[in-house]
Amino acid sequence: MIAGGFGVGKTTFIGSVSEVRPLRMEEPITEDSVGVDDLRGVPDKTTTTVGMDFGRIHLAGGALALYLFGLPGQVRFQPLWEDLAHGALGCLVLADTRDLDASHEALGLLEDQGIPYAVAINVFPDAPGYGLAEIREALALDPETPLTTCDARDRTSCVYALITLTEHLAAQRSALSLEPTS
């Protein structure tokens, strides 16, 4: 899954890395969303995801297929988040330093569901720059939680973020298989 707050770049991220034409469920932002969707920090945003985004990418020389489900960023879609989270192996949470608080809903869902995750700070040109240690503290991330940066418009950057997540998932699975049985 790809999760994060409203306008953080999930649709762009999936579009940058998907090997198939991404499925997008977007609609124009209308007057009805004023007061519901917070457009601060994303004044040029004209559409919003109303269902999910979907894409696919192969890593490890084609040996590993990742199916990417982009969750809508608004809390009102939490029932859909929970449905898509069922059976998910892991999640990449995109965060924006202009509004780190917007990441907490996704992080909370993942914690509640026990889904492993990594966090990627999507770098926006006008976003304040913070060190990764400051961001880790602001998001209350465990020391083991991978934290990286990416530019959702750049395929290579996004692939690196997905590799960070998959390496984390592989390490967790390996650690589980090494635990002694009683």
Q: Which two tokens stand for residue 107?
A: 């992080």
Residue 106 belongs to a domain with what CATH number? 3.40.50.300
Burial of 25 (0-12, 13-18, 19+ CB in 10 A): middle
Cα–Cα distances in angstroms (integers) from residue 64 to residues 33, 92, 101, 163, in the given order: 39, 16, 33, 11
Domain that holds residue 26: 2-178
- Kindly list the averaged pLDDT for each block of 10 residues, start to end, along the chain of length 182: 92 94 64 56 56 88 92 69 78 95 91 95 91 96 97 97 97 72 58
- At residue 28, the pLDDT reads 60
Which residues is 118 bridged to in the sheet? 92
| Torsion of the alpha carbons at 124, 129, 135 and 139, rounded to the nearest 10 | -50
Instruction: Quote the CA–CA distance of 65 and 68 in Å, as a whole number.
Output: 10
- At residue 51, the pLDDT reads 64
Q: DSSP letters of 17-28?
A: H-SSPPEEEEEE
SS3 breakdown of the chain: % helix, strand, coil, rounded to 5? Answer: 40, 25, 35
Which residues is 92 bridged to in the sheet? 2, 118
- At residue 86, the pLDDT reads 75
pTM of this prediction? 0.81
Enter the DSSP assignment of 86: T
| Torsion of the alpha carbons at 124, 10, 5 and 39, rounded to the nearest 10 | 60
Number of domains composing the chain: 1
- At residue 80, the pLDDT reads 67
